[in-house]
Chains A and B, each alone.
Chain A
Amino acid sequence: MKSVISTLRELWRDPMGKIGIIGVVLLIVVAIFAPQLAPYPYDEIGMRFQPPSAEHLFGTDKFGRDVLSRVIYGARVSLEVGIIAVGIGAVCGYLLGLVAGYFERWVDRVIMCFMDILFAFPSILLAIFISAVLGKGIGPTMVAIGIVNIPVFCRTVRAAVISAKGLEYVQNAKSVGVKTWPLLVRHISPNVVAPFTVQATLALSGAILTEATLSFLGMGIQPPDPSWGSMLSEGRADMIRDPWVALFPLLFIVVTILVFNILGDALRDVLDPKLKT
């Protein structure tokens, strides 16, 4: 397995990887230093519908809030929701996959049946459905998107567990009565890291998209919390007259997803050269 540093170095050598890393780091910086970077608080009210100017680079929205500031804070919300949702999906998926792969038989069948049901729904519909049950706001949205993400991770781990169980030394350990649990965990974890990292990067862009969509539909983040999705849906009504209100959050959604996809693709090429074509 490659070390983190050598992976990053290889990524950096690839032009696409470089774009991905720079983009993601920039986004993270914007998210972390949002209070310092944003010229105004995200909920400060002023003159309505001002076009972009030196004072308000991205203009103001229908309540007179600074669009740039809201977009910057929106990056924070998007990343927060994305990272925690993918974290929930990855951890639950890892555990469920481990259990399913280890026990096989009916435990496996039950778990995978659930995964299939989750997988059988269009992910956006599933997210809508779950967030209807859990309620609106940042926390429930994270959990809803996290649940949507479980099956992919679960399958990855389960496949790794099942193939690791067939390995000779695991079989040998079993035959001399060593507990195979710790062995499997220790063996599987490094094998899973590469596909997991790639999967997580791509899932992150998916999660950010799902959050934006949910918020756009009014199911996710609620005002006054700034979310690109809800800003877009608020700005849509006045889009023709004052396009900046919708345009800037839209631009940021697209660029963010693009950047994570670029990073994910480059990461896959580095970590899993077999798939490179």
Chain B
Amino acid sequence: MEHLLELRNVSIDLPKGRRKPPVKLVEGVDLDIRKKQNFGVVGESGCGKSITCSAIMGLLSYPLTVGQGSSIRFQKEDGSEVEITSLHKSELRKLRGKDISMIFQEPMTALDPMYTIEEQINETLRFHTGLNKAQMHEAALEMLKKVKIPRPEQILADYPHHLSGGMLQRVMIAIALINNPRLLIADEPTTALDVTIQAQILDLMNELRESYDTSVIMITHDLGVIAETCEEVAVFYAGQVVERASVDAIFHETAHPYTTGLLRSVTSLGGARRELYTIRGTVPTAGNFGAGCRFADRCDHCMAICKEKPPALTQVAPGHLCRCWLHAGGAEQAEKEAAV
């Protein structure tokens, strides 16, 4: 396997009782993450980006399940591959926190308020290594220094409620990286933080990534974060990947109307004063998608075919995929139909 992680046709089901078919919250997601790559996943809240990444960890919360026919393959350190969707629980546990680790959105609630920072860092070591207490203390101290926490000795003895959000996110990064994982999933790691702290955390992550050789999946709704940290991007809309390309291509050769809308609705300091763009309408809820393109009702370029048939993810340029009839020959087809 050339990639570190391969998602093929991943879907996530919300069961609706024994008789009814499940609602598909995420459908047909294909992603490839290379080694040492920084991969961005962008989309509005509820578009399925976070649960897709939870599925990579095998951490979907009840009652969500990975749909049939989904495949998530991960390459371990020794080069062997594992299929995460069918991995035994105990094997999955060995993977979590060791090969794949995760940082969450809300640092204030992501740590157990009852235990010291040291205990919560040590836990990760204890699950995956055979270090003794003194060695764990040493390692934890070392790690806190790496994430640039001042007075690390003292912080180790503190409880989460003693620390600020930015500090806690640094601790979370320390916990995530201490076992030197091959993949780090960062689920909106800066959203809950102050703007100044956001920049510091992003800088820190960029810096650490270089020294740790870790691939990063950065989940965010903020295109600014993507521009600053990622090489490749997947844009999620209503449970599907609608566009996938390098960061340059996403920003400069945008293909999907939804991505265009996202880019236009970003505030920019440099640009001329203009009214902030909003994409009209609202995202359809899972289970209520029409027959055609899921973005059709909100799209400025909507054609007849868009409402009838779902577009496939097709290549518009080398390495640039887009799920839109404008690029999948839909326009020509529409012209032909008009001519007839």
User: A and B touching (C-beta < 8 Å)?
Assistant: no
Binding site for A on B (CB under 8 A): none
Binding site for B on A (CB under 8 A): none
